[in-house]
Amino acid sequence: MLKNVAFCLTLFIIAFSCSSEDDQSEEVNSIDPTESLISKNTTQNNESVTISFNREEMLAFWADSIIVPSYKKLTADLAILREQIIELNENATQEKLSVIREKWLLAYKTWQHVEMFNVGKAEEIYFLSHMNVYPVNEDRITTNINLGEYDLENPNNYATQGFPALDFMLYGIGINDDEILEKYQVVDSNHYKYLIDLIDKMISKSTIVYEDWQTFRDEFVASSENTATSSINKLSNDFIYYFEKGLRANKFGIPAGVFSVNKLPNKVEGYYSRSFSKVLALESLDAVKNFFVGNAFENESLIGKSFQAYLSHLNTDANNVGLGDDILSKLALAVEKVNELSDSFVTQINNDNTAMLITYDSIQAVVVLLKVDMLQTLNINVDYADADGD
């Protein structure tokens, strides 16, 4: 890691000293990422070749074609899930349970596309903490259900709500489906009430975030400068933080035991359903790739400005010119590794944890490129630190 930093630093110095030599002739190359480049195609000295990278355009694409549409889809998915859950109250059948599970998975997959956007309202209302904290605290969920009274806003209850708690409520409260259905067969049972409270909380949080984007959008796009609080800096940091923690650590590292004495298979995402940890991880990797490349949400043929375009714009010196492609090929390798794993990471970890660790390594290889090389190129500082641990 240190070696990498030193190497990059060296490259940076070389790059810097080179550009100062020929900044007369190569105006295109001396673009400082700290400048706000909203003056696209200015006719300085009658030279219309100055290709500036329009950062507002990138932010607008992020907001209009990726972020807002994915939030919209999430709220829609959750509304569909809620309709089905309501029907469970008077119709606790195997068929209904299967439909609910299916809708839960669809919404959970959509969630993989929004978890990385921890800006604006999402950050303010601790959206992530209400949606995807796992493993759940089973004891506390049981206590909540039995008491019939709980405050889902209290941080103590983060681990009792969101998609993982739904996973528990739909798959984990009995040893088989009959036993699970039993819990919902009494109309307005405490279990049903808890389930509906969970989905209501998720809908209300998602709606708050989605609606806020209608007004926040312009503010977000206008903040195109390079400061610690500007949109690009914050979202770049969120993106990498998500990749490092939400994806690498939570989905792979922690359950595989990278950070502990023993492997911890009960900490996988989608623990109770047993068969979706891989699907969710692949969806998440897809979301990362799409955001990096600039593929519009659910419309991959529409490509806009994102990190890849920004990097190839900034990396004009020969040494770094392939960084964007490098990141994508390493990412593709990681996807390949994930594809080789069992659908259930619990099974995978118990049977062959080495494959899980190898996958972790391949994801870690991307982290290094994003966190060191990419941020260096974008001239953005990391705004988060690893916890001291104790």
Partner 1 sequence: MKKRLTLLLCVLAIVSCAKEPETIIEYQTVEKIVETPGETVTVVETVETVLPPDAYSFTRGGVSTVYYSGQTARVKMASEIYSALKTETYTQTQIDAMFSLGTGFTDTTLDTSGKTVRSKTASYGGSATVKSLFDGWITEATSVVFPVWNTNGSKGVAGQVTDPGTGGRSVRVNAKGMEINQIFTKGLIGAMALDQIVNGYLDKTEKLDAAQAGNDAGDFAYTSPGATEANVTKMEHYWDEGFGYLYGQDNQAFPALGKGVLLNKYLKKVESNEPGISKNIYDAFALGRAAIVAKNYTLRDEQAAIIKSELSKVIGYKAAFYLRGGGKNITEGKMADAFHALSEGYGFILSLQFTKDANGAAYFTNAEVNAFLERLSAGDGFWDRTEDELKAMATEIDAKTGLPATN
**Where do contacts with partner 1 occur on this chain (CB under 8 A)?**
118, 126, 128-129, 137, 139-140, 143, 151, 154-156, 158, 245, 387, 390
Q: How far is the CB of 214 from partner 1 (least distance, A)?
A: 24
Residue 100: in which H helix or E strand, if any?
helix 94-114
Nearer residue to partner 1 within complex by CB, 175 or 261:
261
Cβ closer to partner 1: 175 or 387? 387
Q: What tokens does 386 get? A: 């690893």
- Of 157, 231, 238, 232, the C-alpha closest to 198 is 157
- For the bound state, the minimum distance from the C-beta of residue 326 to partner 1, rounded and expressed in Å, comes to 29
Query: Could you give the CA distance from residue 344 to residue 348 in angstroms, rounded to a whole number?
Result: 6
Q: Residue 320 in contact with residue 213, Cβ under 8 Å? A: no
CB closer to partner 1 out of 61 and 239: 239
**Interaxial angle between packed helices 307-314 and 277-293, expressed in degrees from 0 to 180 and rounded to the nearest 10:** 40
User: Shortest approach of partner 1 to residue 128 CB, angstroms?
Assistant: 5
Q: How far apart are CA 267 and CA 345, in angstroms?
A: 10
Q: Which residues contact 73 (CB under 8 A, 6 or more apart)?
A: 110, 113, 297, 298
DSSP 52-76: ---HHHHHHHIIIIIIHHHHHHHHH
Tokens (6 digits) for 210: 């989605």
Nearest residue (CB) to partner 1, 48 versus 156: 156
Q: Which residue, 21 or 390, is less far from partner 1 as judged by CB? A: 390
Q: Which C-beta is closer to partner 1: that of 99 or that of 165?
A: 165
Residues facing 123 on adjacent strands: none
Say if CB 198 and CB 150 are below 8 A apart. no
Query: 21 vs 386, which CB is nearer to partner 1?
Result: 386
CA-based R_g, the chain, Å: 23
* Coil vs helix vs strand at 259: coil
State the nearest-atom distance from the C-beta of 140 to partner 1, in Å: 4
Q: Which is nearer to partner 1, 173 or 221 (CB)?
A: 173
For the CB of residue 315, give the shortest distance to partner 1 in the complex, in Å: 31
Which element (helix H / strand E) includes 296? strand 295-296
CB of 118 to partner 1, least distance (A): 7
What span, in angstroms and rounded, lies between the C-alpha atoms of 216 and 276? 34
Rounded least distance, CB 285 to partner 1, Å: 20
CB of 172 to partner 1, least distance (A): 17
> What six digits make up the tokens of 283?
């969806």
Amino acid at 286: D
